[in-house]
Amino acid sequence: MNVKKLVCSIISLSLLVNCGIAALPVSASAVDTDTEIYVSPDGNDSNSGSSESPFKTLERAKAEVRVHNSNMSGNIIVNIASGVYYMDNTLEFTQADSGTNGFSVIYRGITDENGNSPIVSGGVDISDNWELYDESLNIYKHENIDWSFRQLYTNNDRAIRARVPNLENKETGGPYFRASGGDGSYPLFIGTNNEYAQKAGNDAEIIWN
């Protein structure tokens, strides 16, 4: 056998051995050493964090990770069930939330049978405490909201906030002003005698789309 054939044979054997190792199934003992934590919007932070008794918030799951990650013997997996997780503050991760001993801390979203995935939102849930304001126009109101917002969603769809005047013609965009394309500037002046500005006072805003 010449040198070229010998080298090729060794390379081929090496590839076969490597492929065979990669194809080996993960041992049961390796899986058993993983620590799994479960989170669900329907959970409770006083729960144990198991699949049958999940936590409610990502903050609680993060705190539970720190209980187990000082001397890891397997990966820590945080399973995040589908649904919306409302966050009042930024969820910040530091080195204290990392894996140890060569193992990883893994946060993974779980898609449910309907194809829904978890959503982490900085919004505020206002689905409760609505009152009927005008039955003839099917208008409801929600009081005691003392913060400003510019985005409103209903059932995950972008909703339109109350506006004056309202859109009357979807084809032409009327009665809104329309500007043609170009690089020019478009000055816009609203007089103090404008009826809409008078109604809103200092809270009036101009929306440019």
Q: Are strands 83-86 and 76-80 parallel, antiparallel or unpaired?
A: unpaired
Per-residue pLDDT tens over the stretch 176-203 = 666 666 666 666 666 667 776 677 666 6
Q: What is the CA radius of gyration of the chain?
A: 29
Q: What is the pLDDT of residue 209?
A: 61
> Rounded to 5 degrees, what angle do the CA atoms 76, 81, 87 make?
90
Q: What is the pLDDT of residue 160?
A: 79
Q: What is the pLDDT of residue 20?
A: 32
Give the residues across from 4 on adjacent strands.
none
Cα separation values, 27 from 32, 51, 78, Å:
9, 22, 21
| Residue 154 pLDDT exceeds 70 | yes
Residues of the chain above pLDDT 70, percent: 70
| Residue 75 pLDDT exceeds 60 | yes
Range 10-19 average pLDDT: 32
| Residue 147 pLDDT exceeds 60 | yes
Task: Return the higher-pLDDT residue of 61 and 122.
Answer: 61
Q: What is the pLDDT of residue 201?
A: 67
Q: What is the pLDDT of residue 151?
A: 83
- The DSSP code sequence of 82-136 is SEEEE-SS-----GGGS--TT--EEEEE---TTS--EEEE-S----S--EEEETT
pLDDT band for 27, please (50, 70, 90 cuts). very low
Mean pLDDT computed over every residue of the chain? 78
- CB neighbourhood size of 64 (10 A): 20
| Cα distance between residue 112 and residue 68, in whole Å | 27
Q: What is the pLDDT of residue 182?
A: 64
Task: Return the higher-pLDDT residue of 15 and 101.
Answer: 101
Per-residue pLDDT tens over the stretch 82-136 = 999 999 889 999 999 999 999 999 999 999 999 999 999 888 888 888 899 999 9
Q: What is the pLDDT of residue 42?
A: 96
- CB neighbourhood size of 55 (10 A): 25
pLDDT band for 18, please (50, 70, 90 cuts). very low
Range 61-78 average pLDDT: 96
Task: Return the higher-pLDDT residue of 11 and 207.
Answer: 207
| Cα distance between residue 137 and residue 140, in whole Å | 9
